[in-house]
Chains A and B, each alone.
Chain A
Amino acid sequence: MSELLDLNLVEASKALKNKEISSLELTKAYLKSISDTSSLGAYLEIVEDKAITMAKESDKKLIDGNARPLEGIPVGIKDMFCTKDIKTTASSKILENFIPTYESTVTQNLWNDGAVILGKLSCDEFAMGSSNETAAKGNVINPWLKNKKMSPGGSSGGSAAAVAARSALAATGTDTGGSIRQPAAFCGITGLKPTYGRCSRWGIVAFSSSLDQAGPLTRTVSDAALMLNSMAGYDQKDSTSANLKMPDLMDYLDKGIKGKKIGIPKEYTQNGISEDIVNFYEKSIAWLRDEGAEIIPVSLPHTKYALPAYYIIAPAEASSNLARYDGVRYGARQEASSLDEMYELTRGNGFGDEVKRRIMIGTYVLSSGYYDAYYLKAQKVRRLIKEDFENVYKKVDYILTPSTPTTSFELGKKQDPLTMYLNDIFTVPASLAGLPGISLPVGLDKSGLPIGIQLIANSFDEAGLISTARVLEMSAGFNFIADGAAK
């Protein structure tokens, strides 16, 4: 069994195609692993029967020689993706019994390419959070540091924990301000947020429409490339989806970075970053230089305004996006004697504190009299941040930053929302600019927790992002396995 779990996605895919293993045995190994690691709380819903059925179908295709790109690969799906006939709750009580009659475009793309669903993964409620602690069904535990209860990060905490714990070969996530990259960093895995518009948002529970973007969480850069190959694609059903063909990312794995220019933004190395992260950041710079890249100091002067702007724009959109959860058509309804009272009770009971906090912030910043001072100003800041990146990309090809200011923290330790929001300080700017970013593990800190480094590319340059990340991955040679991972 453990040998099966040792295979990463690319290796497993090769073994499947060479008929060395079957999807059924691989899928069963992962189902067992899910049960062995159930104390982590990564899964909200396990669809064993469906997984077995899909694995058998994949095996048929594999035997017939009709294997598709992800044939027989068992994956976990963040609970933000609507899955047909499978409960989809966005980790919220308000959707606790919601079963969609439709399949999100991204997950449909995965099934069309032969992937096998294992189940739905926990996340922060409506993807609002950085520790997975806002999930209605409770915390997810990071598989690292078995003796302590560490946060897997958020909001894609279940996805990151499952991949790190080897209870999914790969997982989908969504990233609004860092929700793929930060948990990937905390859990010692790779997380890729594509360019805004690369993956369709159709069928993904909306948090902040102008920022939300789906992406993969995987063990390696090449695994991420293979997953994104299938997830991405133009979709007429999403007006913000980009009608641009993405090249086959697998072709870019070994392109190297000779002569490429890597920007080091001075604003990302100031205060509050843990020493170990600074060390590994410097090491990463050195590794890339050694591989032939030119290292160029750059400035993204509006970086310090990114977080405040993000915490205006994202809640503003969320306050409107979440208005549909009103108890009228679906979801948990609290009966009451008037419509307004029904709204108050349904939404009061259905949403958790963090979601309520953001709905209130969002409602406030859009209110008449405050709109110009907050929402409009935040949009202006967003434009400036975008321009910062555009200017820098005239000089460099990629930007290298730490993924997070600290490594994972103990669950229940960060209660102050503002401190929590600081987790996303390095991931939010790329989100506001719509740029693709990847976090990959480069080492462990003194306490044995993984450290993630982020690469940010120009719009729609996922191919270059993969090439560069792959070089960093090889140099770092990160081959630690979480002590809480399935054996």
Chain B
Amino acid sequence: MNDTSTLKLGHIQGETGIWEMVIGLEIHAQISSKSKLFSGASASFGSEANRNVSLVDAAMPGMLPVINEFCVEQAVKTGLALNAKINNVSVFDRKNYFYADLPQGYQISQFTKPIVGEGEIIVDLDDGEQTTIGIERLHLEQDAGKSLHDQHPTKSYIDLNRTGVALMEIVSKPDIRSPQEAGAYVKKIRSILRYIGACDGNMEEGSLRADCNVSVRKSGEEFGTRCEIKNLNSIRFIIQAIQSEAERQVDILEEGGTIDQETRLFDTSTGETRSMRSKEDAHDYRYFPDPDLLPLEFSESWVQDIKEKLPELPDSLKKRLIKDFGITSYDASILVEEKDYVDFYQQAANGRDGKLTANWMITELFGALKKDNLSFLESPITSENLGELISLISNGTISGKIAKEVFSEMMKSKKSPSEIVKEKGLEQVSDDSEILKLIDQVISDNQDKVNEYLSGKDKLFGFFVGQVMKLSQGKANPGVVNKLLKEKLK
């Protein structure tokens, strides 16, 4: 009776009806800063344990935090890119709790007065639709260290390299309605962060993580009780975790149960979430303004200076690509996903056929990189070389078919296409006399077929074209071959 294939994304068909998901995300983005938020220690990833630890990070007696101005600038930049309200006065608070990898016994964060207030972003969905997701706030905070519990049977090891590294927590409004939307939202935030250089967005290294708040309700009802899934470090996991958590909640509710507000973890091996701590076990963080730090204040003109220096952002860039290069909205949204893609595309397509360039980049280049397991930055083909290939196709030097051959050679050898075409003698032959010679040969070799054709078997025309192309090793310009054959076989 229920045809699940017509369900909208984010809807779950239950016994009692259709359930809708309500999702809010907290993204923790590590600021691309050489040093930590309140100490001069290096914030670099992958150092030997406890190498990047200053006296402040280790919370030695009498040590004091000093705000890293660069990090403040990145937060303001991000706030502006999220179309959000910048709070010229904000306050750092202490979030108090005991843990072995939290040397101060508190995390410096922003609780009641964050640096950035409400904003919104447009998110592109896979079906080409767009939706707007509200931003609740963005605040600055310190990261904690790392506890390693699997190094010794009875001891835990502590690595404080991450301690004090600057994070921005970007909190969305509960505007998200499907796991896919959540994924697209994270993608968009990551893309914006990379455009402005505030965060490298590297989820594998933990530079970008998300906590997902998930609840379910029947359409039109009040929000249900939510659970928070902590620390998801890939878009795939975010989508899986939300889907599985929402299904778990629906199962409970359908059986007449209630949802306990709690913090949950996503188990990547089972694809399910499990309880981490209940609301009753939740810490009382005893937030209060950090007396070691003055309120963070900056002038409107400083914000304006940052605003003027902001690079073009994906939404406006997308519009411009469609207008300037005549490409489809779909292609444009793929190209603006990453700053590196757009830069590459704009260089390759400059003064050339924009649509053809987009096709070659999205279909051929992205496909080949994926096949070879290479990242975009590892591409053996440069934007100059792809552009040159487009030119060779457009001006008729090579055919589309030959171009594919040249392309795979470019992937292998990193050589320029003209070099490859020259070396292999792949230039398209468009010269009438050259092609006529080939036609003459085909006609003399196939006199019987010529007679058949002339007596009315029109279908054989394709055979002659094929023979000429074959004889030219694919280099003959098919248009010219067609034209001359028709004249010759009149």
Q: Is the CB of B284 within 8 A of A206?
A: no
* B55 interface residue (CB < 8 Å to A): yes
Q: Is the CB of B58 within 8 A of A329?
A: yes
State whether A210 and B61 are in contact (beta carbons under 8 Å apart), knowing that A323-B105, A328-B100 are contacts in the complex.
no
Chain B 100-144, CB-CB to A under 8 Å as 1, else 0, gives: 100111100000000000000000000000000000000000000
Contacts of A340 in B (CB 8 A): 98
Chain B 289-314, CB-CB to A under 8 Å as 1, else 0, gives: 01111100000000000000000000
Chain A 353-383, CB-CB to B under 8 Å as 1, else 0, gives: 0000000000100111001000100000000
Partner of B62, one of A104, A210, A363: A104
Q: Is the CB of A95 within 8 A of B105?
A: no
A105-B360 Cα distance, complex, nearest whole Å:
63
State whether A204 and B62 are in contact (beta carbons under 8 Å apart), knowing that A316-B288, A366-B96 are contacts in the complex.
yes
A237-B56 Cα distance, complex, nearest whole Å:
10
A322-B62 Cα distance, complex, nearest whole Å:
11
Q: How many residues of B contact A (CB 8 A)?
A: 31
Q: Is the CB of B61 within 8 A of A320?
A: no
Chain A 314-349, CB-CB to B under 8 Å as 1, else 0, gives: 001101101110101110000000011001000000
Identify which of A204, A237, A328, A368 gathers the most chain B CB atoms within 10 Å of its CB.
A328
* A240 interface residue (CB < 8 Å to B): yes
Q: Is the CB of A236 within 8 A of B61?
A: no
Q: Is the CB of B98 within 8 A of A82?
A: no
* B156 interface residue (CB < 8 Å to A): yes
CB closest chain-B residue, reference A95: B61
Q: Is the CB of A206 within 8 A of B96?
A: no
* B374 interface residue (CB < 8 Å to A): no
* A109 interface residue (CB < 8 Å to B): no
* A202 interface residue (CB < 8 Å to B): yes
Q: Is the CB of A320 within 8 A of B96?
A: yes
Q: Is the CB of A239 within 8 A of B65?
A: yes
* B226 interface residue (CB < 8 Å to A): no
A203-B292 Cα distance, complex, nearest whole Å:
13
A239-B58 Cα distance, complex, nearest whole Å:
18
Identify which of B59, B104, B293 gathers the most chain A CB atoms within 10 Å of its CB.
B59
Contacts of A468 in B (CB 8 A): none
* A205 interface residue (CB < 8 Å to B): yes
A317-B288 Cα distance, complex, nearest whole Å:
9
A128-B18 Cα distance, complex, nearest whole Å:
62
CB closest chain-A residue, reference B62: A203
* A138 interface residue (CB < 8 Å to B): no
A82-B61 Cα distance, complex, nearest whole Å:
8
* B94 interface residue (CB < 8 Å to A): yes
A319-B284 Cα distance, complex, nearest whole Å:
14
Q: Is the CB of A368 within 8 A of B284?
A: yes
* A98 interface residue (CB < 8 Å to B): yes
Distance to closest chain A CB from B442 (angstroms): 85
* B450 interface residue (CB < 8 Å to A): no
* B67 interface residue (CB < 8 Å to A): yes
Contacts of B293 in A (CB 8 A): 239-240
A215-B348 Cα distance, complex, nearest whole Å:
68
Q: Is the CB of B67 within 8 A of A320?
A: no
Distance to closest chain B CB from A348 (angstroms): 14
State whether A102 and B100 are in contact (beta carbons under 8 Å apart), knowing that A239-B65, A320-B105 are contacts in the complex.
no
* B158 interface residue (CB < 8 Å to A): yes
* B64 interface residue (CB < 8 Å to A): yes
Interface residues of B in 154-189 (CB under 8 A from A): 156, 158
A168-B420 Cα distance, complex, nearest whole Å:
87
Interface residues of B in 200-231 (CB under 8 A from A): none
A319-B100 Cα distance, complex, nearest whole Å:
17
Partner of B98, one of A202, A206, A323, A375: A323
CB closest chain-B residue, reference A376: B288
A442-B475 Cα distance, complex, nearest whole Å:
110
Q: Is the CB of A366 within 8 A of B288?
A: yes
* B286 interface residue (CB < 8 Å to A): yes
Partner of A330, one of B60, B99, B288: B60
State whether A320 and B156 are in contact (beta carbons under 8 Å apart), knowing that A82-B61, A202-B64, A328-B100 are contacts in the complex.
no
Q: Is the CB of B106 within 8 A of A320?
A: yes
Interface residues of B in 51-100 (CB under 8 A from A): 55, 58-67, 94, 96, 98-100
26 pairs, A vs B, C-beta closer than 8 Å: A81-B62, A82-B61, A100-B60, A104-B62, A201-B64, A202-B62, A202-B63, A206-B61, A206-B292, A209-B292, A236-B66, A239-B64, A239-B66, A239-B67, A239-B294, A316-B288, A317-B291, A320-B96, A323-B96, A328-B100, A329-B58, A329-B103, A339-B99, A339-B156, A366-B286, A367-B284
Other contacts beyond A102-B55, A320-B286: 14, CB < 8 A: A205-B61, A205-B62, A206-B61, A206-B292, A237-B64, A237-B66, A239-B66, A322-B105, A326-B105, A329-B59, A330-B60, A339-B156, A371-B287, A375-B288
Binding site for A on B (CB under 8 A): 55, 58-67, 94, 96, 98-100, 103-106, 156, 158, 284, 286-288, 290-294
The 8 A-B residue pairs whose C-beta atoms are closest, nearest first, are A323-B105, A210-B291, A209-B291, A366-B286, A324-B59, A203-B62, A205-B61, A82-B62
